Amino acid sequence: MAVATFSCGCISRSFSNSKLIGRRPNFSHGILGGPSSLGPLQTTYSVSKRLALCSSSIIPKASSATVENESSQGTAEVPIPKVIIDLDSDPDATVVEITFGDRLGTLLDTMSALKNLGLNVVKANVYLDSSGKHNKFAITNASTGRKVKDPELLEAIRLTIINNMLAYHPESSSQLAMGEAFGVSQPNQKIDVDIATHIHVYNDGPEWSLLCVETADRPGLIVDLVKNITDINIDVESGEFDTEGLLAKAKFHVSYKGKALIRPLQQVLENSLRYFLRRPTTEDASF
């Protein structure tokens, strides 16, 4: 359900052109641990499997009385749901943007569901363009008053929004990869992950590089991407995640020891993520 602000060539034109100004907030230090803190990383991602299994305990829904069910519009052409989670455009808050044609209403249910995750919606606005109605929220952690940077909580936000939207718009199940997990019907098609996966690293100044990832969407993807990046001792400085129909598109500003990645390290990062995203998943219990 999202469009992203990827400014790189590997991303489609459906992404908006947000400018990345100033120092990116550190997405790893103090949250994921520094480049050598592999012990804390294991603790940080201890619930990633729970996220991947779509545990309902971390994906709350609001009361159905808060918004009118608009699924009666299912006879019309169903727009592609889009959700952006943006850590770049606001220095003080995490920005979430939701687009689903003109079907979203006031999204009071979504704001309530976000509050159930321990978040504050500090600002909200709506604007229209040729692609439909865009609902944008600026959210912070209720306990700290700061922007959300923990990848597990970011993934919970994403899944909460998608789950909540599907509850009110079951007709969008066939448009989203997550329809198989949360929706009343499976997607009309599935994407071959080998064909859908594209990974590129670009130079973006002396202090960081820009990593662009496009792949088939699935639950737990934000957590898994960040974990694999930091597992090879690369820091994630900031990022943005875009859920658009069956695809997930992400960008991360990454660095190694405070500097942009040299070409050999860029290649290591690309190969590591490509291997992880394309290999079949195996449950730990099967060993």
Domain ranges of the chain: 38-61+76-182, 193-279
215-230 pLDDT per residue, tens: 999 999 999 999 999 9
270 within 8 A of 229, measured Cβ to Cβ: no
Measured between alpha carbons, how far is 281 from 283 in angstroms, rounded to an integer?
Answer: 7
Q: What is the CATH number of domain 193-279?
A: 3.30.70.260
Q: Which of 114, 77, 108, 79 is nearest to 95 (CA)?
A: 114
- In this structure, the dihedral spanned by the alpha carbons of residues 29, 25, 117 and 68, taken in order and rounded to 10 degrees, is -160
- State the DSSP string of 27-63: SSTTTT--TT-HHHHHHHTTTHHHHHTT-GGGS----
Diameter over CA atoms, the chain:
55
Instruction: Calculate the alpha carbon distances from 34 to 153, 229, 251 in Å.
Output: 19, 12, 20
pLDDT: is 41 or 88 the higher one? 88
Contact 37, 280 (CB under 8 A): no
What average pLDDT is seen over the chain?
76
Q: What pLDDT digit, counting tens, does each position of 19-35 carry?
A: 333 444 444 443 333 33
Q: How far apart are CA 229 and CA 137, in angstroms?
A: 28
Claim: this prediction has a pTM higher than 0.85: no
What lies within 8 Å, CB to CB, of 186 at 6+ separation is: 173, 174, 179, 180
